[in-house]
Amino acid sequence: QTVQPAIDVFPSATISPVSPYLFSGFLEHLGRCIYGGILPAGPTNFPHTPRNPCPKDQFTETPKELLTKDGFRKDVIELLRDELRVPLVRWPGGNYVSSYHWEDGVGPKDQRKRRPELAWGGEESNQFGTDEFIAWCRETKIEPYIILNMGTGTLEEALRWIEYCNGTGDTYHANLRRRNTGRDEPHNVKYWGLGNEVWGEWQVGQQTAEAYAEKARQWAHAIRLIDPTIKLVVCGQTGLDQWDSVVLDVLADKIDLTSLHLYTGFGPRDRTQKEKEYGRGVYGPDAAEYSIEICRGLINKARVAKNVSKPIKIAFDEYGVWDETVGTPENGLEQYYNFADALAMASWLNVFVRQSDVVDIACIAQSVNVISPLITSATGYFKQTIYHPLHLFSKYMRDGVAVKVQVDSPAFAGETLPQWISPIKGQPKDLDVSAVLSSTDGKKTLSVAVVNRSESKSYDVPLRIAFETVTDVEVHELWHENVQARNGWGKEEEVSVKTRKAKWEGKWTFREHSFTLLILHLA
């Protein structure tokens, strides 16, 4: 039976204000993320082992005028601060953090210890440490979010780090920070994560859920003695695993958020599975929605059992499109995205907007060079295909309230998708939609984000806005005839957004494999 596509938006049925933190980022000491993306990297100025120098101008030194007074790349700061408006960044990892000792990365740079890098290989120079991260965050107007080393790190070391960052008294580590930075004010790091992917067998210091939960409970208690105002993020898995259930049950009364990680490009459980086909990639983010829905239930179960009245939110603090056979440790996880990946990115963001009553933080993994929307060379950068949906969402879908939508749509018509995409709901729909209502100077605007995921079919869709009249519409469309099209060095942006004004007639034609953002002005 054929389903007639239709979209109904209900502006008065609000889900939740959209958290600006849905557009957050992630920096890890991996490949050219820090050394190359945040600091310059050139033939003589490459503090990290250059396993993967940029193919474009690897023998060029970044000119001084492209750097801030602290030596950070200006172009990356400008893009993240002024265009993507990234509100929060997670650091220093990722897998890297599980053997990171923060004390190696503070104080005079020429005395910092070079260390073997256990997560991704090579060596770490520690030229970018806590004080550099905070200085970069200040310049970029970004809230810092630091992950603690729960692999090889000790509780005492973690407590020293928190005292170093947030201490305001006359204590040793607060004074050490003052000496190192030359300023009195604390770094004021509000968000701290209790370890990274401690469940993973690739982790230095893998633990069972029970052992981790016990340890994290002790850490949480002690951390709050140093700074009771901290927001603590516990290490979850994909949100629907036994790990998540055990850890939430033990820690529900000690934490503010639980962290979820998932990449499309491969499944959450089978990390060896290759998901190269269009369908699996573009419809893949439905798996995240399923994870969030299950995790919501696990959170509430744990809250009821422990009689916790305050909400626990989700920090989806690693998400994105990653084909592990393309972005490998050998190439510093540099993946060159195609047009289909941009559609997947738009679907990811739709999930977060629809689930914004429980998802408070979402960090794209990662912010520069490493499986990232942005690729730098010594003197420039280019925007990958996935940059564009992220930019549109951050600009138009953040300052408002997510509202309910009802979507009638044909479902994915290709081969059966893997079980993990939506084991309960069946085949994902072609049309994937979210909507945000905002109001400026008394004028209401409804932003409706529609991904038509069908590879070959365009749809004429009645788009009904309950109890509201639309005066006019602004359209932002991301489309390319070739789903394999990419952006790259030395060519015009192959994939970019086309913007225009249009007459509103209560329906819209969504082209095959397209992302359309309709900005509807309401009477």
CB of 133 to ligand AHR, least distance (A): 16
CA gap 486, 413 in Å, rounded: 25
93 is a contact residue toward ligand AHR (CB under 6 A): yes
Nearest Cα neighbor of 251 from 281, 291, 209 is 209
Applying CB under 6 A, the span of 91-99, 206-214, 442-450, 497-505 interacting with ligand AHR comes to: 91-99
The one catalytic residue among 318, 324, 334, 455: 318
List 31, 94, 265, 332, residue binding ligand AHR (CB under 6 A): 94
List 80, 230, 358, 365, residue binding ligand AHR (CB under 6 A): 365
Within 8 A by CB and 6+ apart from 287, the residues are: 262, 264, 267, 268, 420, 421, 422
> Which residue's beta carbon is nearest to the bound ligand AHR?
94
List 126, 149, 196, 487, residue binding ligand AHR (CB under 6 A): 196
SS3 content of the chain, % helix, strand, coil (to 5): 30, 25, 45
Q: What is the DSSP string of 272-300?
A: T----SHHHHHHTTHHHHHHHHHHHHHHH
Helices of type H across 41-129: 74-78
Query: How many positions of this chain bind ligand AHR (CB under 6 A)?
Result: 9
CA gap 259, 234 in Å, rounded: 6
367 is a contact residue toward ligand AHR (CB under 6 A): no
The one catalytic residue among 117, 132, 197, 455: 197
Binding mask 112-151 for ligand AHR (x = CB under 6 A): ----------------------------------------
366 is a contact residue toward ligand AHR (CB under 6 A): yes
List 19, 23, 28, 356, residue binding ligand AHR (CB under 6 A): 28
CB of 170 to ligand AHR, least distance (A): 37
50 is a contact residue toward ligand AHR (CB under 6 A): no
Task: For ligand AHR, give the closer residue by CB, 366 or 452.
Answer: 366
415 is catalytic: no
Amino acid residing at 49: T
Q: Are strands 497-502 and 470-479 parallel, antiparallel or unpaired?
A: antiparallel
Within 8 A by CB and 6+ apart from 440, the residues are: none
Q: Are strands 231-235 and 191-194 parallel, antiparallel or unpaired?
A: parallel
Task: For ligand AHR, give the closer residue by CB, 28 or 289.
Answer: 28
CB of 384 to ligand AHR, least distance (A): 16
61 is catalytic: no
What's the length of the chain? Answer: 523
Give the strands of the sheet with 443-452, arranged side by side.
497-502, 470-479, 514-522, 443-452, 431-440, 401-408, 6-17, 459-465, 507-510
Applying CB under 6 A, the span of 87-95, 205-213, 340-348, 490-498 interacting with ligand AHR comes to: 87-95
CA gap 179, 108 in Å, rounded: 11
CB of 318 to ligand AHR, least distance (A): 6
Helix (H, G, I), strand (E, B) or coil at 218: helix
Task: For ligand AHR, give the closer residue by CB, 38 or 519.
Answer: 38
List 95, 130, 258, 438, residue binding ligand AHR (CB under 6 A): 95
List 256, 318, 334, 341, residue binding ligand AHR (CB under 6 A): 318
193 is a contact residue toward ligand AHR (CB under 6 A): no
Could you tell me if 339 and 1 are in contact, meaning their C-beta atoms sit under 8 angstroms apart?
no
Applying CB under 6 A, the span of 42-50, 55-63, 90-98, 243-251 interacting with ligand AHR comes to: 90-98
- Kindly tell me the sign of the dihedral angle through the C-alpha atoms of 479, 480, 483, 488: negative
Task: For ligand AHR, give the closer residue by CB, 349 or 446.
Answer: 349
Active site residues: 197, 318
The residues of the shown chain that bind ligand AHR, judged by CB under 6 A, are 28, 93-95, 196-197, 318, 365-366
